[in-house]
Amino acid sequence: MLLRGDRSILSLSHGWLTALHPDPHGTTLAAVRRFLLFDTAAAGEAGLFWDFASLPQRGPNGEARTEEEKRIFNRGLEVMGSFYASVTGTSVIQQRDMVLPPGALTGVGAYNPTPYEGDGGRGWCIFEQGTAMTVLAHLTAAERQAAEKGKALPERFRKAQAARAKVYDIGGAAPMARESSLSPREVLDEACRAIEKAKFTGKADQVMVPQMLAEFEWVFRSTFERALEDHAASGATIRREQQQAVLARLSEREGANGRSVGSGVELLEAG
């Protein structure tokens, strides 16, 4: 389905209300159902990536994953960025509202009131939104530039755009396709700034997620802007140590898969 290029896979971006269950009262589920009723394309065939259901989680009482479950979970994390950054393969549906029940207790072991976005927002959500909105901003700019020249986008992009919007906000009474008035660089820069102040539940995520955004930034700038030959001149916001870690990871992939660092465009072009 990813290879069809019609955004027939929906990637849900949402915050977990509790450590063991993201949606204990079904608020996000209700929003997803409203979107599916709204989305006429889903009447045909569609897939849904929902981290809680799509990847092995801890048990209901916090039991650890089995070794096989850990392997599957880690494989999922390796391609997580592609589910949100794919230009033609996925549409991102966002539940940005953190709806706590009246009188809900917050803190360790209770509800997590951390906002979806902004300073001190949720790290995973900032990453997911940052990558998806950067792609949306790039498509918006490409459409505008093509129109100014009296041309159209390449057929595969037109096909994806006609099927579904790249990003929807599903938190309201009716889903809304999101728009971007900022340039791709501005959107990505804002995500990079926000991730520095983001909050994470897991200590490992606090290292991994900024690293994933740094890798996305590297690929985006080098692929679409060809501006990372000199880090200082490129305007990239990733720190030098993150840059080196990205290069190491991409080099490992090159050795394992026989591909060059430039093939990191898969993060943007998956599907």
Kindly report, residue by residue over 30-40, the tens digit of the pLDDT: 999 999 999 87
At residue 93, φ and ψ (nearest 5 deg) are: -110, 125
Taking the C-alpha atoms of residue 103 and residue 155, their distance in angstroms, rounded to an integer, is 52
Q: Write the pLDDT tens digit of every residue in 240-271.
A: 555 555 555 555 544 544 433 333 333 344 44
Taking the C-alpha atoms of residue 22 and residue 149, their distance in angstroms, rounded to an integer, is 46
Average pLDDT score over residue span 168-182: 95
pLDDT at 264: 35
Q: Are 158 and 146 a contacting pair, CB within 8 Å?
A: no
pLDDT at 1: 84
pLDDT at 139: 93
pLDDT at 263: 31
User: Please, what is the average pLDDT of the chain?
Assistant: 83
64 pLDDT more than 60? yes
Residues 6+ apart with CB under 8 A from 242: 210, 211, 214
Q: How confident is the model at residue 60 (pLDDT cuts 50, 70, 90)?
A: confident
Average pLDDT score over residue span 203-210: 88
137 pLDDT more than 80? yes
Average pLDDT score over residue span 18-23: 91
- Distances in Å between the alpha carbon of 95 and those of 119, 196, 197, 257? 18, 22, 21, 35
Q: How confident is the model at residue 220 (pLDDT cuts 50, 70, 90)?
A: confident
- Locate the domains of the chain by residue range: 2-263
Indicate yes or no: pTM above 0.75: yes
233 pLDDT more than 50? no
pLDDT at 252: 57
pLDDT at 101: 82
pLDDT at 103: 76
DSSP state letter for 225: I
pLDDT at 108: 64
Considering only 63-67, 97-101, 164-168, 261-265, which range has the smallest mean pLDDT? 261-265
- Distances in Å between the alpha carbon of 44 and those of 37, 47, 77, 177? 12, 10, 28, 20
119 pLDDT more than 70? yes
Laid out side by side, the sheet with 90-95 consists of: 47-49, 9-14, 90-95, 167-169, 176-177
Average pLDDT score over residue span 4-9: 93
Q: Write the pLDDT tens digit of every residue in 68-110.
A: 999 999 999 888 888 999 999 999 999 999 988 887 777 666 8
Considering only 54-68, 222-236, 244-258, which range has the smallest mean pLDDT? 222-236
pLDDT at 28: 96
In 3D space, the residue among 95, 94, 83 whose CA is nearest the CA of residue 47 turns out to be 83
Q: Write the pLDDT tens digit of every residue in 207-219.
A: 899 988 888 888 8
Taking the C-alpha atoms of residue 115 and residue 97, their distance in angstroms, rounded to an integer, is 8
Residue 6 identity (one-letter amino acid): D
